[in-house]
Amino acid sequence: DAGVTQSPTHLIKTRGQQVTLRCSPKSGHDTVSWYQQALGQGPQFIFQYYEEEERQRGNFPDRFSGHQFPNYSSELNVNALLLGDSALYLCASSSRTSGRVDTQYFGPGTRLTVL
């Protein structure tokens, strides 16, 4: 049973460019959350998707947007990249039981470097 998968593993972009990161949730999971982890810090919540809609958002600008597909996979898009967007981007998946979010399981992450 495959766990949470993310692609690509590493990515290098320049300032001002746009990037798309992808996540496939664990089998049986329907909820996807995205986190940003800067070097030396704990992960910070970006947003969560369920039923193809953004359900909760952290303190991130509109340059960060997402999408969830009918097969529950998800994309994170970041526009107008800044040097400060360099980080490890983590996807976590979970299931919902009676509308409640269960334990989140993380993927390996995508390392984004902005030059």
Contact residue for other proteins among 32, 92, 112, 114 (CB under 8 A): 92
Q: Dihedrals φ, ψ of 82, to 5°?
A: -115, 160
Sole window of 13-21, 48-56, 64-72, 76-84 interacting with other proteins (rule: CB under 8 A): 48-56
**Whole-number Å distance between alpha carbons of 34 and 48:** 6
Distance CA 38, CA 83 (A): 11
Closer to other proteins by Cβ: residue 14 or 56: 56
Sign of CA dihedral 67, 76, 9, 95: negative
- With CB under 8 A as the contact rule, the residue among 29, 32, 48, 85 that binds other proteins is 48
Say whether residue 56 binds other proteins (CB under 8 A): yes
Q: Which of 21, 76, 78, 90 binds other proteins (CB under 8 A)?
A: 90
